[in-house]
A and B are shown apart, each in its own frame.
Chain A
Amino acid sequence: MIRLENINFAYRDEPVLQDVSFSVGPGETKVILGSSGSGKSTILKIILGLVRPQSGRVFIAGKDVTNAREGQLQKVRRKMGMVFQGGALFDSMTVGENIGYYLLEHTNRSLAGIEQAAREILDYLGLSQGLLDVLPDELSGGMQRRVAIGRAVAAENPQIMLYDEPTTGLDPISTLTITKLINKLRVEKGVSTIVVTHQITEAFEMADQFIVLHDGRIVFDGDTDGLLRCRQEYVREFLQPYLASVKSIPVGPTE
């Protein structure tokens, strides 16, 4: 579904990603782990075509979109839902307008139809329909992330979901709710998912395929067992706080 081949990306002559290659199959979930500034979010932006790599190729659903024009990219992006770090909700629009944004821009649905769709999505997210006319600023961080997920899935059945630090800065209950929601989407809608995070506990609850990124390079790409047995120095260092804190290690995502 998604394939990156030998991606190199630099910002102001500073290398951000170096020779990054990996793939995510239909319905699969992959978590990209790494410390802040390791280039995780840049990978999502490259997949979406928001930034272009200096070299390498990006394939979405078998199609090379590396040098696709903006118009072609917009069609590709319609297959994807993206949840940005912090939500990136449109702060001048209500929750209902945010959720219905895609439908408002790209379909001929009536306003009543869009409102109905937004209500259904709020139900799916486990949020009150009373929030429809509320501005994002009035919501808690956890609610904002859920609305952001709702806005992403409101697109016409996205086949790919991309999450940028979906649980960062949230309390444990909100984190659990978001994690469950991501898993629910994967199971019920069968979407291919990439989650970027540096929170290891949540990562194990969301996926069984992992990439570890260090200084823009992939230092690990494999499953849970492989990750826990990996001898690579940075991977050990990265996992150390987690390994020290758990008595039993969960294997695979919870549903």
Chain B
Amino acid sequence: MGHLRGFKRFVNDIQGLTFFCLKMFRYSVGRPFYFAEFMDQMYFLGVGSLFLVVLTGMFAGQAIALQFSIELADFGSKNYLGRVMAIAILRELGPVLTALMVAARVSSGITAEIGSMKSSEQLDAMRAFGVEPIRKLAVPRFWALMIMLPVLTIICDFVAIVGGYIVAVFIAHISPTAYWSNFIDKVSLGNIIIGTVKPFLFAMIIASVSCYLGFSTSGGTKGVGRSTTDSVVASSINILFINFAFTRLVVPHLRGLM
């Protein structure tokens, strides 16, 4: 009985999320577009996450470079570290780590803000004043994330690769030329496509899940806390799942471009 209820809730949530996304897309076109809100969110979601993303990229890049420099040395292939870094960072770790860090920081904030507005009837007040809350609150956050997450991913990639370079040159004693020439060999169109498409998918997940859970919050303060936790968990799991699905379904078709 409990399983059935849980399954029913899951189906309801999927249905609710789908309708919510459709509404968000519909309200994305036409007026009014809340440009000031959109700019605020660009700053909060993008610039506000910059330091976190730079730190993540730097440490992740250095850790991977350290690990692989040791492993590759066993095979006498230390000079190929640049290739490994290109594949690991551009295809996988850059987009996924950036999305996970942004999800952790941002999705909880979005859900908590919208959820507390819902529980204090501010969303109803907004509608009573002729303002559609999805258009006012969700659409600017969605587009801000759609722009800023790819930008943050590029920054994370860059920092991680530079971090890897520092480890390669100063710890693993690989020549800068070997690192960069091997790295550039793997900067192919296929890898660039994979690395740039993923952030858009992840931005969609973070924005839609966190806004939807905010709008569907119930149960007062306790409900806001529950939605906030659910938001981080659901965003993170969906990012990892979509990453796997994308790698399984799309990447094989891009092999010719790698």
Contact = CB atoms under 8 A, between A and B. Distances in A.
Interface stretch (B68-76, B97-105, B120-128): B120-128
A77 B124 contact: no
A102 B131 CA distance: 9
A50 B128 contact: yes
A108 to B, nearest CB: 12
Contact of A102 (B120, B121, B129, B132): B129
| Contact residues on A (Cβ < 8 Å of other chain), bracket | 20 to 34
B128 A48 contact: yes
Contacts of B127: 48, 50, 77
A86 B121 contact: yes
Nearest to B124: A50
Interface string A88-122: 11110000000001100110000000000000000
A51 to B, nearest CB: 9
Interface in B85-144: 117, 120-122, 124-132
Contact of B128 (A80, A86, A106): A80
Contacts of B126: 90
A78 B121 contact: no
A82 B128 CA distance: 7
A6 interface: no
Contacts of A155: 129
B130 A88 contact: no
Nearest to A41: B121
A180 B125 CA distance: 23
A78 B130 contact: yes
Interface string A104-147: 01100000000000000000000000000000000000000000
A91 B128 contact: no
Interface string B5-16: 000000000000
Interface in A157-201: none
Contact of B120 (A70, A78, A91): A91
B130 A90 contact: no
A3 interface: no
B130 A84 contact: no
Nearest to A155: B129
Interface in A53-81: 70, 74-75, 77-78, 80
A85 interface: yes
B129 A105 contact: yes
A45 interface: yes
Given A86-B120, A88-B120, A91-B120, A77 B125 contact: no
A85 B117 CA distance: 14
B10 to A, nearest CB: 17
Given A105-B129, A105-B131, A45 B124 contact: yes
Q: A80, A82, A151 — which one has the most chain B CB atoms within 10 A of its CB?
A: A82
B125 A88 contact: yes
Given A84-B121, A88-B121, A91-B120, A105 B130 contact: yes
A86 B119 CA distance: 11
Contacts of B32: 105
Contacts of B129: 77, 101-102, 105, 151, 155
Contacts of A91: 120, 122
**Closest 8 CB pairs between A and B?**
A88-B121, A74-B130, A88-B125, A82-B128, A84-B121, A77-B130, A102-B129, A88-B122
12 contacts: A48-B127, A50-B124, A74-B130, A74-B132, A75-B130, A84-B128, A85-B121, A88-B124, A89-B122, A102-B130, A105-B32, A105-B130
Interface of B: 32, 117, 120-122, 124-132
